[in-house]
Amino acid sequence: MSKIAASFFPNINYVNSEFLDRKYLKSVGIVVFQAFKDIANNKKLNFSPVESFVGSLDRNARDPSTKASLFIDDIVNSKSNFINVFSNVKTATAAYKNASTMLVAN
């Protein structure tokens, strides 16, 4: 299931042999799965992706070309048929601004 979820996230590429393109390093991805009984597999529980979203934890993030919000809460809450997202990340802190990648625990 994690491989399926990861396939919905944009590729993180190298800009050269030593450095990653930073475009998606602070992005968060959300994939919503539907659970179902798989009749073709003895009615065992299986999962199918139904929606996916990629955005920023920064509520002020904007797409440079369209000026549309990249805030994950705005994206999910305006487009999802299944979930709502509410986050409260302090992006004005030096820790967030100086980080190249983010890890969220628990």
Residue 14 contacts residue 20 (beta carbons within 8 Å): yes
What is the predicted pLDDT for the residue at 30?
A: 96
What is the predicted pLDDT for the residue at 28?
A: 92
Query: Of the candidates 36, 33, 14, 34, which has an alpha carbon nearest to the alpha carbon of residue 25?
Result: 14
* Domain spans of the chain, in order of start: 2-98
Please, how many CA atoms are within 13 Å of residue 19, restricted to the half-sphere of its CB?
Answer: 6
What is the predicted pLDDT for the residue at 66?
A: 96
| SS3 labels along the chain | CHHHHHCCCCCCCECCCCCECCCCCCEEEEEEEEEEEEHHHCCEEEEEEEEEEEEECCCCCECCCCCCECEHHHHHHHHCCCCCCCCCCCCCCHHHHHCCCCCCCC
What is the predicted pLDDT for the residue at 97?
A: 84
Please list the ranges in the chain whose pLDDT falls under 50.
Answer: none
pTM metric for this prediction? 0.83
Residue range 51-66, pLDDT digits in tens: 999 999 999 999 999 9
